Structure 1
Amino acid sequence: MTRSSSPANGLLFALASASLYGFNIVYARIASFAGASGSAIVVYRVFLMLVLVGIVAAVTRSSLKAAREERGTLLLLGVSTAFVGLCYLSSVAFIPVTVAAVVFYTFPILIVLASPFVEGTRLTPALLGVVALATLGVALVVGPAFGVLDWHGLALAFAASIATAIQFFAAARCCRTGIIAKTFWIHLLVFPTAALISLAAGQLAPPSALALAPFAVAMTIGGYIIGFVLQFVALGRITAVAAGIIYCAEPVVAALSSALILNETLAPLQVAGGALVLAAIIAKVLLDQRHLKDAPLVPIAD
């Protein structure tokens, strides 16, 4: 199916995917309250994804072969993807979902700042303005509550942002390997990385630990898997610009969900800061419109 064949459906798939990712982090926080660590959830959801991808590959007889010249890039992509999930899901054990989401969503700005060094692009005044806007927004969100926020959570959320930026640059250089094969190899690399990190942190609990919060764990794992699949479905139907704007709904959904489900609140200045970060991300996407009209959105696994 071509991208232009069903753009309306593509927008709906992307919105559903972004919403599931937003719900995902809220239920990860609920699971952490019950004792199911974010790193353990990542390990088991990656294992389940591997099983499902293997079944799909067998049924469709799809090749799982990775392009030889992209194997090193796939390794970096897998490791960075592991750190995205581990750091982001673990951050909400220390800080509110709304704060974690805003800090995490600084990754588009990090990509802008790093692109001159990684890809040789030029920083324009407009892009610098976007960076300044987002930086101000993050300062407003974190600043008023910095004294009461656990620095571990802030560090983990920002580490997830850095890992996502690395993931984007690596994924941009990995275009010869098929989607099913790429998904398989990414998760095959994520699994031992996540397991080793979880083991080193003393958080690699047996599967029975997931029963501490069965509904929250099911929502977290299910939201990730279904959101990941819908993301790939959406990318074949809409442009990168449209998808980028739709995926900006994820932190908004996370904030609204945390307010409704967890009764988390933000001060007016923090709400304004979150709005500035979201505005900066949307502005960045719109600035890229003339250059990226037909480019695919790089898939994120959070």
Structure 2
Amino acid sequence: MKTMVSSTKKFNSTSTPNVKTKIRESAFDRIFVGAIYVFLSLVLIAVLYPLIYIVSASFSDPAAVTSGRVWLFPVNPTLDGYTAVFKNPQIIQGFSNSLFYAIAGTLISVSITIMLAYPLSRGTFYGRNFIMVLLVFTMIFDGGLIPLYLVVKNLNFIDTIWAILLPSALAVFQVIIARTFFQSTIPNELVEASEMDGCSDIGFIMKVVLPLSKPIIAVLVLMYAVAKWNTYFDAMIYLKSEELFPLQLILRSVLILNADPNGDVMELLKAQGLRELMKYSLIVISSLPVLIIYPFVQKHFVKGVLIGSVKG
């Protein structure tokens, strides 16, 4: 009996894993991990410091900004820069234009992407491989700016909002991500079951596909919205009327050309020493919408990207 008890204790002691056991790291491993932490800390500082500096400079006294006394925290905090920005009607108009381009352009782009990506994800769609080859071909070879400008001009889109919304409405990379998501998330059995129940293709997309595709829709919305919000090159090429200029084009004029479409306002700011302060304030204002949107779609964004990349 004692032998059985002792053997049972021995078995339990040997079979039960010790959860408190720690893996001993060598000195080289500790040095390597420490070097990684140091490197990542330097990268974080290099990325974070310019952002902190811009925000601090936007709230600092104009004299402190021009003299270089702003380093980390605001010096003599003031809201003069933001006051000057919101008093400029051209900037307000540009902000509203960018907001419209971002919202309308995102809706158009996401709709077109889903309408193209979903049929390409179904094995019953005839010619889908050929269409994918044509789409990928456009990623490798591009006609250039002049042919694109001529197409936009022949469509009578020059100096209209459609020149911003339509030429860049579709991105092949987003189509590939969405197609991969639909292939891995919407099984053929679900499609067959809906057909047996008499559901139409449009009804299946609206009632089944879209509710199950919130992660990829969040990915597409964020990608297209950021691209539409930051666009300025298309506006610089196709737009002539100042009332159609997006905020980024006005920001480019202030930062690079040192000129404001409203000359009287810029001369007043120049006399008050607020030009540098206005630059930083305008950068902060133009970055806020994207920073506000991202936390709401971050969860779906990560999930959609992982599904589209790992299972592709």
* Structure possessing the higher relative contact order (Cα contacts under 8 Å, 6 or more residues apart): 1
Using the size of structure 2 for normalisation, the TM-score is 0.28
Q: Which has the larger radius of gyration?
A: 2
Using the size of structure 1 for normalisation, the TM-score is 0.28
